[in-house]
Structure 1
Amino acid sequence: MTARQTPLYETHVKYGGKIVEFGGWLLPVQYAGIIDEHKVVREKAGLFDVSHMGEVLVKGTDALAFLQKLVTNDVSRMADTQVQYTPMCYPDGGTVDDLLIYRRSQDEYFLVINAANIEKDWNWMKENSAGFNVELTNLSDETAELALQGPLAETILSKLTDTPLDNLRYYWFIPELKVAGKTVMISRTGYTGEDGFEIYCRPGDAAQLWEAVMEAGKPYGLMPAGLGCRDTLRFEAALPLYGHELSATITPIEAGVGKFVSLDKGEFNGRAVLAGRKQTGPIRKIAGFILTGRGIPRADYPVLSEGRRIGTVTTGSYAPTLDKNIGLALVEAEYAKIGQHFDVEIRGKNVPAEVIAKPFYHR
């Protein structure tokens, strides 16, 4: 299967993006460099192409009932124009995906799913929709998405729209507005641990919007940002990445996102298993750690205690904001307590590490 291009592929080439394949897509891993891009998002603002993400529209009189069965969070608590983060689980409690739900009305919701999971999620949703009066539409190919992230994001985006943005709260959205003359939907959301906006548009408008945002951001030090710093930014904020901290074999309870599992809303996929895990406490947990020896931890490295394997690194990296080598690891629950010590095996050597609080970074 050949890798796909987003509508901004040529733009990335023009801006000097170093293109890599990610989840079946050709995307920029970096432009100026991962650390420079990371720091500019923390201090000013960065612009990301996230058009590879998937989008599904759920409409119908049973839309709410269907979503309540499908996901772990309580969708009935949402108001119109609110956004909600939620895991979506299998009956055994393992995670199908984690996603964002945008409520347009009680009968209409817009879902944003992970790029690598589009086909799997789509099939799972179709299968689960049996018996519900809902219509599902896969809008992934008809939707492009830019993410403007960083403390100056509002200042920059305000230059391109007459719609006031200062009263748009975190995890709320504006269904339709003009940005740089194009009709878009924006939400105050992101995946970096910073303030910011996600801009949904028609694929044909993406390149012009990118250029308009870059131009508006010039006086503020805006830089294009790639997948590399998107990962280091989300990781410092301890936001889970599907396939690492969440997967078909890792429940939301183990991943530390149990607060998005609402047991009091009635029946949903995985409820029985997740209720049991919440009650007894999970036998494995995602722990944040810092290396006290030399080396950089990477995903899939073994975690050991007195030579016995107790878990696996799920994400590890040098953290530019903290200037430390840190990681997340799925370990036996007793080793996940703050102050615990274990070793990470890095290229055949056991490097000592200590469990620390997460998120590693707060804005």
Structure 2
Amino acid sequence: MDKKTPLYETHVALKGKIVPFGGYLLPVQYQETGLVKEHLAVREAVGMFDVSHMGEIVIQGKDALKNVQNLFTNDFETMKQGQIKYTLMCQEDGGIIDDLILYKYEEDMYMGVVNAANKEKDYQWIKEHVTGEVEVIDYSEGIGLIAIQGPKAKATLLKIIDSADFPEKYYTFKSKVKVNDMIIDLSETGYTGEEGYELYTRSEDVVAIWNLLMEAGREFGITPCGLGARDTLRLEAGMPLYGHEMSETINPIQAGLKFAVKLNKPEFIGKEAIENAENKRKRVGLKILGKGIVRENAPVFIGDEEVGLSTSGTHAPHLGYAIAMAYIDQEFTELGQQVEVEVRGRRILAEVTPMPFYKK
């Protein structure tokens, strides 16, 4: 049975269209705005998302660093307290178990924020693969998480948070920040391609924090946003989504995530397989030139030859045209390469284009 986040009743009151996602009931969009308005609010002003369904797994103890170095693809050796790093967790064969962001709280304490649908799988994998003096704790149920994104996100937060309590820069965070009589952790992170922040709260405080932000952002046109806008925003920003651009049969190099894989590290799970993989296909962006929307699992052709498969696609509200991501044979991935994507028996012209599709 699907769970509800602490903000479920808030979404219902705001006339959110509720759908199951990652084991939770969440709004895909709101009746009074809709996906396009929600998307544009983030690009032009400020939007707010309930992301309390995400998982938070803490790895702590004397051997915490040794274990995160072995479990994840990025390098955390010189990571400082208050820093955040994007990373991947892979199988021995190099396939991606999940992507996550890792927070460093103390020398011996890290928190991984994982995808909702993978939470239990990730937790079990981590527990089974840690060694030495280390503890693994799933704090997900006790944490509420709100993302506030867009050019007016900081101005909104400044109405309830002192400027001295803001993170120093992108991919850093401040812990134990006071908001009225509540305590939050505030990170400069997001999944939209815009300036933005994420607020980690106790589950019992998340409704109060949401309401404070709604009031603080009123003058900026703050807009609650659903899963639909979250997906179109991340697509415009060229960001991969687990289950689409990433899976246990895809390795990080194929997925275009080499920046988060440090092969000069002595060891991590999957390193040898990733180093030796023959990657026949890679992830590319497609600008759709013909009429129609390309979704996932649409075959990509050059003439009669099938050369790839789409993983995600949408009409991009800010850009004003349709886009998609796909895995395509390496020899056909040059920018400007024209291909055809088959949608319901009809071929649609597209071309390989740089990613991200949108940059602020």
TM-score with structure 2 setting the length: 0.97
Distance across 2 between alignment mates of 1:167 and 1:352: 44
Q: Which residue pairs with 1:190 in the alignment?
A: 190
Counterpart of 1:136, as a letter, is V
Cα offsets for 1:326-352 (capped at 9, x unmatched): 100011111221111111001101111
Equivalent residues in 2 for 1:230-309, closer than 5 Å: 230-277=230-277, 282-309=279-306
Q: 1:41 to 1:180 in 2, by over 3 A?
A: farther
Alpha-carbon contact 1:163-1:177 (below 8 Å) kept: no
Q: Which residue pairs with 2:340 in the alignment?
A: 343
Distance across 2 between alignment mates of 1:244 and 1:77: 32
SS of 1:204 mapped into structure 2: helix
Matched, 1:324 2:312: no
Equivalent residues in 2 for 1:38-187, closer than 5 Å: 38-129=39-130, 131-164=131-164, 168-187=168-187
Q: 1:167 to 1:270 in 2, by over 3 A?
A: closer
Cα offsets for 1:296-335 (capped at 9, x unmatched): 0001111112122211111100001110111000111112
Cα offsets for 1:143-198 (capped at 9, x unmatched): 11000001111110111123525662100000111124310111000000001110
Alpha-carbon contact 1:287-1:337 (below 8 Å) kept: no
Alpha-carbon contact 1:17-1:28 (below 8 Å) kept: yes
Distance across 1 between alignment mates of 2:209 and 2:358: 30
Distance across 1 between alignment mates of 2:257 and 2:189: 17
Distance across 1 between alignment mates of 2:281 and 2:185: 39
SS of 1:198 mapped into structure 2: strand
**RMSD (Å), alpha carbons:** 1.1
SS of 2:77 mapped into structure 1: helix
The Cα shift of 1:276 comes to 2.2
Counterpart of 2:270, as a letter, is G
Distance across 1 between alignment mates of 2:244 and 2:39: 21
Cα offsets for 1:182-230 (capped at 9, x unmatched): 1011100000000111000011101111000000000111010111000
Q: Percent identity?
A: 46
Distance across 2 between alignment mates of 1:345 and 1:257: 27
Deviates more, 1:79-88 or 1:305-314: 305-314
Deviates more, 1:67-76 or 1:156-165: 156-165
Distance across 2 between alignment mates of 1:224 and 1:179: 20
Q: Which residue pairs with 1:28 in the alignment?
A: 27
Task: Provide structure 2 residue ranges, at least 5 long, that are not aligned to the other structure.
Answer: none
SS of 2:169 mapped into structure 1: coil
Distance across 2 between alignment mates of 1:163 and 1:221: 21
Distance across 1 between alignment mates of 2:19 and 2:165: 34
Task: Provide structure 1 residue ranges, at least 5 long, that are not aligned to the other structure.
Answer: none
The Cα shift of 1:358 comes to 0.5
Counterpart of 2:29, as a letter, is Q
Alpha-carbon contact 1:191-1:239 (below 8 Å) kept: yes
Distance across 1 between alignment mates of 2:163 and 2:289: 49
Alpha-carbon contact 2:167-2:174 (below 8 Å) kept: no
Alpha-carbon contact 2:237-2:358 (below 8 Å) kept: yes
Distance across 1 between alignment mates of 2:239 and 2:267: 27
Distance across 1 between alignment mates of 2:311 and 2:12: 31
Distance across 2 between alignment mates of 1:55 and 1:324: 36
Alpha-carbon contact 2:165-2:177 (below 8 Å) kept: no
Alpha-carbon contact 1:72-1:86 (below 8 Å) kept: yes
Alpha-carbon contact 1:180-1:209 (below 8 Å) kept: no
Alpha-carbon contact 2:314-2:322 (below 8 Å) kept: yes
Distance across 2 between alignment mates of 1:165 and 1:217: 18
SS of 1:111 mapped into structure 2: strand
Cα offsets for 1:220-277 (capped at 9, x unmatched): 1101011100000011010110011111011110010111100111110110121224
Cα offsets for 1:39-93 (capped at 9, x unmatched): 0000111010000000001111110000000000001131110000001111101
Counterpart of 1:91, as a letter, is E
Q: Which residue pairs with 1:229 in the alignment?
A: 229
Alpha-carbon contact 2:167-2:187 (below 8 Å) kept: no
Equivalent residues in 2 for 1:204-215, closer than 5 Å: 204-215=204-215
Counterpart of 2:294, as a letter, is P
Distance across 2 between alignment mates of 1:60 and 1:261: 24
TM superposition outliers: structure 1 runs of 4+ over 6 Å: none
The Cα shift of 1:290 comes to 1.0
Alpha-carbon contact 1:154-1:166 (below 8 Å) kept: no
Counterpart of 2:296, as a letter, is A
Question: Matched residue pairs, number?
Answer: 358
Distance across 2 between alignment mates of 1:244 and 1:106: 34
Alpha-carbon contact 1:95-1:249 (below 8 Å) kept: yes
Counterpart of 2:18, as a letter, is I
